Amino acid sequence: MFIFGDRFKMAVVGQLFQIEFLRRHVPTILILQGVLAWVPFAFLKYIAHEDTSVAPYLAWHLLGVLPGFLLKRRVWFMDAIGRLPRLKRHTNS
């Protein structure tokens, strides 16, 4: 039983470390992915001289940068939402 308890404790600590690792690094990875989305666009436009649309690169950029920013600054974001005016609900009583 004692050995099982130690293994369980190590598993829980491992899970907590993994969650903290993800919380810390996923926003940075998303922002980096969003910024690096422009590398193929720059290559095609300026080095290969291809006529390419900006829309898919902008979509990938925004899909990475916006969630990455919100995850990285979640405290700031939650404070900003908390400051929004609340709508009053009317009851039919």
Higher pLDDT, 21 or 5: 21
Residue 65 maps to a domain = yes
Q: Is the pLDDT of residue 16 over 80?
A: no
Residue 49 maps to a domain = yes
Q: What is the pTM of this model?
A: 0.65
Q: Is the pLDDT of residue 2 over 60?
A: no
Mean predicted confidence (pLDDT) in 49-66: 95
Residue 41 maps to a domain = yes
> Please, are residues 85 and 40 in contact by the beta-carbon 8 Å criterion?
no
Residue 18 maps to a domain = yes
Helices (H), 1-93: 2-36, 38-42, 55-72, 74-82
Long-range contacts of 45-49 (CB under 8 A, 24+ apart): none
- Give the pLDDT band of residue 1 (cuts 50, 70, 90): very low
For the chain, percent of residues with pLDDT exceeding 70: 72
Domains contained in the chain, number: 1
Residue 23 maps to a domain = yes
